[in-house]
Structure 1
Amino acid sequence: MLHSDHACRNIIMLVGEEMKKNLAHFLVESGTNCSIMINKSTTVSNKTCLIIYLHLSFEGVACNYFFDIVELESGTGECIFSTLLAALEKYGITNDVLKNDLVGIATDGTLTMLAPYKGVAALLRSHLHKDLTVVHCMNHKVELAVHDVMNDVADVYYIQVFLDSLYSVFSRSPKNQRLLQSVSQELSSQLLKLGRIFRVDLVASSFNAVRTLLESHSSLVHLFEKLINDGFRSTQERSKFEGLLKHLTKLLLVMVLVMLYEALDILQVLPFFMQNRNSSVLKAKQEIDMAIRTLETLKTNDSPRFRMIVQELEEKRTFKGVLIKEPSCAEYNRFQTFQKKLFQSLDVALLISDTWPSDDYEHVFYGDMSISRLCNEVNFKLRKSTRASLVKDFRIYKENPQHMPNSVKELVKTVKVIPISMAKM
């Protein structure tokens, strides 16, 4: 048994070095296509570092491999670019290897990474004289899209202000926290995260907070009713509790929360899919299209959950047993505007047989031009066939989707090497 942390560290470092050498050797010797995933981060000691992953195909499966983490002298694009090349070359991944095998690079959307002239991706393209596929992390894109929509829709800010008020009431008082924990342990833990709800990178957290608030709605109402009648509380505290209770029993707040729940329930699935090891460009389009179609449907059709809640409100004027105040015409119109605005604001498909046209004449020529364009976009190297024979093989594949010719298999394998998300890092 090892009793020294230094000995453990040395063994771990040695194993890590050997793993990096083996990975680099496999990439150089096999000539397989690969992509690079990089992200800038900060250590506990406030040192800026670069995290490097390689995304490549091993035994027919596209896999992520941690490659290295190196300290950066500065956060500029030039420094990150030179540090990246040095880290790769240290283990034998030279410029010639990158020119032959590198097909893409995935980063976040910062200017340091994606600036058109001095960004890391632009510098790498220029250095290798190669038109690499540059991927802005799809997880980050989804989060940014949700963030922009939330900023555009006014009543989301109303919910944000309400949740911030809840946070301030319970986070600053241990006594209030204990009372909240006695009502709902999950809501208590979610409230600690509410300071950053609806911000970038937290769609799933926003969904969990909204879900928990809806589930604990009646318990929260009863708690505030109890606090308002607590004679040991100051007049200022009781006024604060009364104001929050007034909002909790408003139809507008309940309906807006339900609609947010519906939208976030659809969107929060995407980040989890993107970080799945089996996700790829081919599958991502299907998932995104499905989410878009569902959101489009919710513009004009209410979900079963929403209809059930509306039915309870119309028949009993209650939500989970809590009496809800009759809304004014202005509040009702405000909710309808919110519903419309919320859902209004939110070429690799040719390789997916489900997207092919059913018409026989269209089917024959479908994708012939796109297959050539796709080869250029992902820098696909035709090893044992010509571009014309690839198009011919693709036509054979269209006639018999159960049998995929080798050239089409190689193209699909190359496309799968293009990463779609850095959440796998």
Structure 2
Amino acid sequence: MSTLSSYFVPLSQKRKAEETAEIVESTSDPFKHCKTNTEDTCGQEDGGSGKDWPECWTLLQKNDFCQRNEWLFVNNKRLGCKVCRDVGGLPVEKRMGMKISVEVSKTTVNVFKKKIFEHKESGAHKAAERIKSESKNEKLDKVVLNTTKVFRTAYKVAKKNQAFNNFEDEINLQELNGLDMGYTFHSTNACINILNHIADEMRKTLISNIVNSKNKISLIIDESTTVNNRITLIVSIRVVLPKHSAPVSLFLDLIELQDTTARGILSSLISHLESLGISEDYLKEYLLSVTCDGAAVLFGAHGGVKRLIKEKFPSVVFWRCANHRLELSVSDTVNKVVGVNHFKNFMDKLYVTYHASPENARELEECAATLELQLLKIGRILSTRWVASSFCTVFAVWQDYEALVYHFQEGLLRTITSCEFVLDLGLMCDALQVLSELSLDLQERNIDLFTADRKIKNTVQLFEERIENPGPYYNIALQSQKTMKFKGSELHKNEKLTPTISSSAFYESLKETVRKCILEGDDADLPECAKVLDSKYWPENPGKQLTFGETEIRKLAQKFCLNEKETILGFHEYLEENEVPDKLLPLMHALSTIAISSTECERGLSQMNLTVTSSRSSLVIRTVSSLMFIRMVGPPLTQFNPTKYVESWLLQGHHNAVDTKSRKRSREDEAWLNSSSIWRARGSLSLCNCAP
């Protein structure tokens, strides 16, 4: 006989009705009866062991909630969102303040919080649902894929230094080849915006790696003016990056200067570096040296950037570009030694003769062909160009001598066939060859302070020995003076008594001026201190003389603000094992990080002149900097992966390549419309099978 709880309803049916009413009541909010106190749970007759759902739910409630909310799932008595778990992030739809909670996606939300129920109406959850639904029909993949194609095309335009107008033609070409390039991002402005974004992201990654490496850095700066008369500061950085054993010199940025005074330049430099992520505090700890040319506003001892940097960062080594010093030393020699100017003037006449007259150049080529000789280009010497180009010019005259004599009938013939000219030519070939090799060595990106100092000293010693022992070209010229014949041509004495170059005075002047390329002042002893790190200068048993080099290492550690104790211990290990330990690496990296030459900025200047031409003079400095950064620092086109740049682009709220809400570009071509009748003609004028 059944027990009744009322006169009309059995107990089992009444309990079932109460549960059904509870479910209906809690449908709008499944957590209405859940209290913050874990003791106030909805205990049921089956609420015991083995349950995976929250204690405040019955089995019927759990099934009903999960059925009504397909996104909900239960695990280990905690709740989570299936959609957010599957999406895992919002690579496309993320906006400001929109973020998937880790708790929600990994089922760590306690049931006593209403967070999971409120999550259903959140923007992040709706965006995740949209991403998941679009992924089923591959719409999301299409967004990223098409935008990636556009980014790669824009990168190619910058890497090959093409005009931005070529971007639309590149898009058209790929569409004609059957690729889907989307609907938008086909304009010149889109290409500029994309390249600026790529360069900014690349620069952020580079700065982040530099800051995280905690290695010393060197700055290379140079002031320049663009074609559109904007004064800029080219900034390059030299540093040992993580997983690299040698330093690299990289173009960093191009800064437009509003104030060209020393204080204005320094203020613009520091504020711009801070905007990139290199703070002034970081510079105080890790800035090792600054390299620039000899311009007064930069290197002036009283009112230049050098003095201001020394006041702000006392330990910084301020290095004057060794290549610029070398050029100035050659210039000083030209002004001091009698006869050099006369030789230079004659070489300039040769240059003008063949550079300004195509007819003379053609006749010289015919003479060379008759003599079966191959001509070398004749340029200017001892001018504003690097000394290596001066050697190329004098060597070209040496090689082309027979053709030049064959071509000249009068005028310059008397000068070029004189004994004095041949002697001067041989002397200049010897000297400029040595200076050219030194200049090229100093321009190498991996040259360090000790190596540069040694090469400069070797050159000084070579010039000193050349006073007594002539070089190979000068010896040939001396033999020609005795026989009065050079390369088959008769020589004669100079009738005008033009002064020739004294070899002893010439080499003495070069020796003294090149010697100035070595460090001066407080930093003059740095190369000598660094000498102890070269095993060639160690004693026979360095392991038994642990005090060897200790003074020099201590000086270097103090100069570069390194840990003295750790550095000296590392040097002792180096002496014993002849292998560089980790404790000595900071000192080794610091010495190799000092930039010897500002040629990296010169390369940037050359790249800027190739980018900002007369037809592109309206480019803003930010765009010019982005193009230069991609050209000089960016990876090759075959190794460029645009995916991460596309994701960061979309995360910033930009449109994608298949966004139908964006304006499509016009594809009408007026030139085609004007000539379409010709190309679509039939009969005898038919030029193609174009559709009518």
Which TM bucket (shorter chain)? 0.7 to 0.9
Q: Is the 8 A contact 1:285 1:349 kept in 2?
A: no
Name the structure 2 match of 1:292: 460
Q: Does 1:282 align with 2:463?
A: no
Opposite residue 54 of structure 1, the aligned amino acid is I
Q: Which amino acid aligns with 2:250?
A: Y
Asked whether the 8 Å contact 1:31–1:101 carries over to 2, the reply is yes
Deviations 1:75-122, CA, capped at 9 Å, x for gaps = 211111111011101122111111111111111111111223432232
Alignment of structure 1 residues 18-57 onto 2, 5 Å: 18-57=201-240
Once the two structures are superposed, the pairs formed by residues 111-260 of structure 1 within 5 Å of their partners are 111-128=296-313, 130-183=314-367, 190-191=377-378, 193-194=379-380, 197-225=381-409, 228=410, 241=411, 244-260=412-428
Q: In the comparison of the two structures, how many residue pairs are matched? A: 394
Given the alignment of the two structures, is residue 89 of structure 1 paired with residue 256 of structure 2, yes or no?
no
Q: Which amino acid aligns with 2:264?
A: C
Counterpart Cα distance in 2 of 1:143 and 1:45? 28
Equivalent in the alignment of 2:554? 372
Of residues 343, 346, 353, the one that matches 2:535 is: 353
- Asked whether the 8 Å contact 1:169–1:176 carries over to 2, the reply is yes
In 1: Cα distance, 2:423 partner to 2:545 partner: 47
Deviation per residue, 1:249-293 (Å, 9 max, x gap): 111110111111001101111222222222111221232233223
1:407-418 equivalences in 2 (<5 Å): 407-418=583-594
Residue type of the partner of 1:343? Y
Contact 1:139-1:271 within 8 A present in 2 as well: yes
After TM superposition, the structure 1 stretch with the greater mean CA deviation from structure 2, 88-97 or 355-364, is 355-364
- How far, CA to CA, are the matches of 2:217 and 2:484 in structure 1? 59
Q: Partners in 1 of 2:421 and 2:268 — Cα distance?
A: 51
Change (3 A) 1:172 1:272: closer
Deviates more, 1:147-156 or 1:176-185: 176-185
SS at match of 1:376: helix
Q: Could you tell me how far apart the structure 2 residues matched to 1:154 and 1:256 are?
A: 12
Inter-partner Cα distance in structure 1 for 2:494 and 2:548: 54
Secondary structure of 2:266's partner? helix
Shift of 1:326: 4.3
TM-score normalised according to structure 2 size: 0.53
Distance 1:168 1:272, change over 3 A: closer
- Which secondary structure state, in structure 2, belongs to the residue aligned with residue 135 of structure 1? strand
> When you count helix as a share of all residues, which structure comes out higher?
1
Alpha-carbon distance in structure 2 between the residues aligned to 1:52 and 1:97: 17
Aligned residue among 481, 491, 497 for 1:324: 491
Cα distance in structure 2, aligned partners of 1:120 and 1:88:
16
Q: Distance in 1 between matches of 2:393 and 2:325?
A: 21
Percent identity among equivalent residues? 27
Measured in 2, the distance between the counterparts of 1:95 and 1:131 equals 14
Change (3 A) 1:153 1:391: same
Task: Please report the RMSD computed on the Cα atoms of aligned residues, expressed in angstroms.
Answer: 2.8
1:261-272 aligned within 5 A: 261-272=429-440
Deviations 1:173-230 (A, max 9, x none): 4432332343459998844x32xx21244201110110011111121111112xx4xx
Amino acid at match of 1:405: P
Which letter does structure 1 place at the counterpart of 2:579? H
Distance 2:508 2:296 in 1: 29
Equivalent of 1:390 in 547, 551, 567? 567
Contact kept, 8 Å, 1:270 with 1:287, in 2: the verdict is: yes
Q: Is the 8 A contact 1:105 1:133 kept in 2?
A: yes
CA contact (8 A) 1:187 1:213 kept: no
Q: Counterparts of 1:269 and 1:423 in 2: how far apart (Å)?
A: 15
Q: Classify the secondary structure of the residue corresponding to 1:61.
A: coil
Query: Structure 2 regions of 5+ residues with no counterpart?
Result: 1-152, 154-166, 169-186, 511-527, 602-692
Alignment CA distance shift 1:338-1:358 (3 Å): farther
CA separation of 1:224/1:44 partners in 2, compared to 1, >3 Å: closer, same or farther? Answer: same
Within a 5 Å distance, the mapping from 1:308-323 to structure 2 comes to 308-314=476-482, 316-323=483-490
Q: How far 1:167 sits from its partner (Å)? A: 3.4
The CA distance in 1 between the partners of 2:284 and 2:214, in whole Å, is 11
Work out which of the two has the higher radius of gyration on C-alpha atoms and give 1 or 2. 2
Counterparts of 2:423 and 2:538, CA distance in 1 = 41
| 1:11 aligns with one of 191, 194, 208 | 194
Moved more, 162-171 or 69-78: 162-171
Change (3 A) 1:13 1:189: farther
Q: CA deviation at 1:417?
A: 0.9
1:362 offset after TM fit, Å? Answer: 12
CA distance in 1, matches of 2:353, 2:473: 31
TM-score (norm 1): 0.84
